[in-house]
Amino acid sequence: MNLKITHSPWRRPMKKTNTLLLINFVIQACILVIFQRALPHQLPTMVGISGQVIYWYTYATPILVPGLIFLAVLHLAAGLIAYGRRVLNWIPIFSGVEGQNVLQVLTFWLACFSWLIVIYCFWYNQFTIHLMFSFNIAAVIVFTYFVVRGCYRFSKSKNNSV
């Protein structure tokens, strides 16, 4: 009997994730292009967990092209992290669902972080700082939950196998 695998279990979720990331980038790029006259000359390049911008990079012209490049790099990183699910299966502690959940949290965080950067380009005040801080804290809590749960299940499976 010759079994043939016709599809990979990775293909569909990765395709969906990468498609959503591409749509996300296109929408953000359209927003930047449409409102390019309102764009400032500064691009937030380093943001603390509290939401406070640590470093702004100043340009002589509005930040349309550098902003698009920065957003493209963020989305590319999110796509590579989503692809990292294959790599995680080689690491025993992350081979379960928890490792994949951790990567989904990181991918979601980068996608949302890119929206917050777009908001920062047009509107930087206490509200956006608090929005970024609450989002970062929520992501850290979810990320920590999945890591601890994965470590617990891994140690439990190791103890049962001995």
Q: Where are the domains of the chain?
A: 11-161
Give the chain's mean pLDDT: 77
% of the chain surpassing 70 pLDDT: 75
pLDDT computed for residue 30 by the predictor:
92
Section 55-75 average pLDDT: 87
110's CB contacts (< 8 A; 6+ apart) are: 74, 75, 77, 78, 81
Strands (E), 14-124: 42-47, 53-58
The predicted structure's pLDDT at residue 139: 84
pLDDT at residue 26 greater than cutoff 90:
yes
Residue 105 contacts residue 143 (beta carbons within 8 Å): yes
Q: What's the pTM value of the predicted model, to 2 decimals? A: 0.70
Can you tell me the mean pLDDT for 132-136?
Answer: 87
The pLDDT of 5-13, averaged and rounded, is 48
Across the chain, which distance is largest between two alpha carbons, in Å? 68
Determine what percent of the chain is predicted with pLDDT higher than 90.
4
Supply the pLDDT for residue 107: 82
Averaged pLDDT for residues 105-128: 84
Q: Where are the beta strands (DSSP E) in the chain?
A: 42-47, 53-58
Mean pLDDT throughout 16-33?
88
